[in-house]
Amino acid sequence: MELIVLGCSGSGAGPHSPASGYLVRAGDTSLVLDLGNGAFGALQRHMDPFDLDALVLSHLHPDHCADVSGLIVHQRYHPDGPGKVVPLHGPTETEVRLAVAYAPSSDERVATDLSDVFTYRPFAQGPGAIGPVALTSAPVDHPCEAYGIRLEHEGRSLVYSGDTGPCRELVELARGADVLLCESTWSDGPERPPGVHLSGRQAGRTAREAGVERLLLTHVPAWADGPALLAEAREEFSGPTELVVPDGHYTI
Site residues (vs Zn ion, CB under 5 A)? 61, 63, 163
Say if residues 2 and 252 touch (Cβ distance below 8 Å).
yes
Q: Which of 47, 239, 249, 60 is nearest to 147 (CA)?
A: 60
Cβ proximity to Zn ion: between 8 and 215 the closer is 8
The nearest distance, CB 20 to Zn ion, in angstroms, is 6
| Cβ atoms within 10 Å, residue 138 | 20
In terms of CB distance, is 183 or 232 closer to Zn ion? 183
CB nearer to Zn ion: give 136 or 185.
185
Nearer to Zn ion, 185 or 241 (CB): 185
| Strand 29-35 versus strand 118-122 pairing type | unpaired
Q: Across the strands, what pairs with 199?
A: 186
Closest approach, Cβ 63 to Zn ion, in A, equals 4
Backbone angles phi, psi at 29, to 5 degrees: -95, 135
CB of 197 to Zn ion, least distance (A): 8
Closest CA to 67 of 23, 107, 25: 23
CB of 34: closest distance to Zn ion in angstroms?
8
CA distances from 248 to 17, 117, 148, 156 (A): 11, 28, 21, 19
Q: Give 47 or 101: the residue with its C-beta nearer to Zn ion.
A: 101
How far apart CA 71 and CA 85 sit, in angstroms, is 12
Residue 192 near residue 162 (C-beta atoms within 8 A): no
State the minimum distance, in angstroms, from the CB of residue 69 to Zn ion: 17
Q: How far is the CB of 19 from Zn ion (least distance, A)?
A: 7
CB of 53 to Zn ion, least distance (A): 24
For Zn ion, the closer CB: 152 or 163: 163
Residue 112: CB atoms within 10 A of its CB come to: 17
Nearest residue (CB) to Zn ion, 201 versus 219:
219
The C-alpha atoms of residue 171 and residue 212 are separated, in whole angstroms, by 10
